[in-house]
Amino acid sequence: MANRNHLRRHAYLESLLEDTDTFLGGRQLSLVHADSSFLLFDPRVPNPWLSDGGQVTWLLSNQEQIQRQGRPFMGRLFGFPTGEHRTLEEQRIFRATVKAVLHLQMYEGVRVAILPTPAGTQLNRLNFSLLSEGHFKVAWPAWHYYGSIQSAEARRATGSQLLDVLSRFSEIAPNLRWLAPYRPEHFARGIRVALPGSWRAFLHLLHGGRCADCNRQVKHLAHVDHMRPLTPEESPYHRIAAGNSVLFNLSLLCSGCNLSKSNTFATAPEELLGRIAPHPSIFAYLKRTLSYEPGRIPHSLDDRLPPAGEENVDLSSPPQ
Ligand SMILES: [Zn+2]
């Protein structure tokens, strides 16, 4: 059943891609896709953006559309569950998943917005695509994206469905928290760059306002932590790569923990990659995107890992 749903979803995404292709080149073109995958978080099941090759291919197709359009016209709105109770281990997986998914979207040039979503919100409120070209609007209600599927075709909404999507969108629009896009310097290793305020606010939300180390409430003095330090200590036991400022490498620490941490790190942020992205080609793709800025690599799924010395080094690798 899961496979059949996957195939239908891929067919749906493909036909949605073809349909939206016809609008490329429009001067006032904008397109938003809403996504509820974080609301379905289950620590035992990887997120589709990190485990489903068809969905990653769809993201790469989004990137091609953005390239062809020549400007970032596409946004993806992610429902973010608030008030959930999780174990510490589940929290680690959840945070790594959310950061990896958002990182990939931003990496591929998709603008990202977070929508804090209380438990009990109906998922179908957050499954739609909406295109605007000036006053002209088209919606794909996408009720069959995750739910029970009647047709795999991305059918445009009828008049009343369009009004429904527009009202759903205008309802959530004021609460969307847009994240600043990546710039090349965020990929530079060992260099401290100014981090956007929207990222700091997002990290605060992701961590529930608590320090990732001591779990104390962090108020205004939030220190954003580079999990892999920008200037790591030398060690005889493993190769050390300096960290960079991609979203995946950032976390929230209270000032006390951040100052005492200095240049050491207890956990490599990449430790969970194999768990949240178990598929080899997606794992390799994710790892490449953490290592290179978007202009430097082909945007495709293959199994090649970055050449040794440039990747985020795995702490579990044997001494050199
Ligand atoms: Zn702390």
Centroid of ligand 1 to alpha carbon of 211 (angstroms): 5
Centroid of ligand 1 to alpha carbon of 224 (angstroms): 11
Centroid of ligand 1 to alpha carbon of 252 (angstroms): 9
| pLDDT greater than 60 at residue 33 | yes
- Residue 275's pLDDT is 94
- Residue 316's pLDDT is 39
pLDDT for 256-279, tens place per residue? 888 887 666 656 788 899 999 999
| pLDDT greater than 50 at residue 246 | yes
Centroid of ligand 1 to alpha carbon of 315 (angstroms): 23
- Residue 8's pLDDT is 77
pLDDT for 38-47, tens place per residue? 999 999 999 9
Centroid of ligand 1 to alpha carbon of 255 (angstroms): 7
Centroid of ligand 1 to alpha carbon of 266 (angstroms): 14
Centroid of ligand 1 to alpha carbon of 245 (angstroms): 20
Centroid of ligand 1 to alpha carbon of 194 (angstroms): 22
| pLDDT greater than 70 at residue 91 | yes
Centroid of ligand 1 to alpha carbon of 186 (angstroms): 25
Centroid of ligand 1 to alpha carbon of 274 (angstroms): 27
Centroid of ligand 1 to alpha carbon of 277 (angstroms): 28
**Average pLDDT estimate for 301-318:** 54
Domain residue spans in the chain?
Answer: 2-179, 184-266
| pLDDT greater than 70 at residue 152 | no
Centroid of ligand 1 to alpha carbon of 105 (angstroms): 30
pTM above 0.85, yes or no: yes
The CATH code of the domain at 184-266 is 3.40.1800
Centroid of ligand 1 to alpha carbon of 246 (angstroms): 22
Centroid of ligand 1 to alpha carbon of 144 (angstroms): 44
Centroid of ligand 1 to alpha carbon of 218 (angstroms): 8
Centroid of ligand 1 to alpha carbon of 264 (angstroms): 15
Separation of alpha carbons 39 and 310, rounded Å: 34
Centroid of ligand 1 to alpha carbon of 197 (angstroms): 21
Centroid of ligand 1 to alpha carbon of 215 (angstroms): 6
Centroid of ligand 1 to alpha carbon of 81 (angstroms): 24
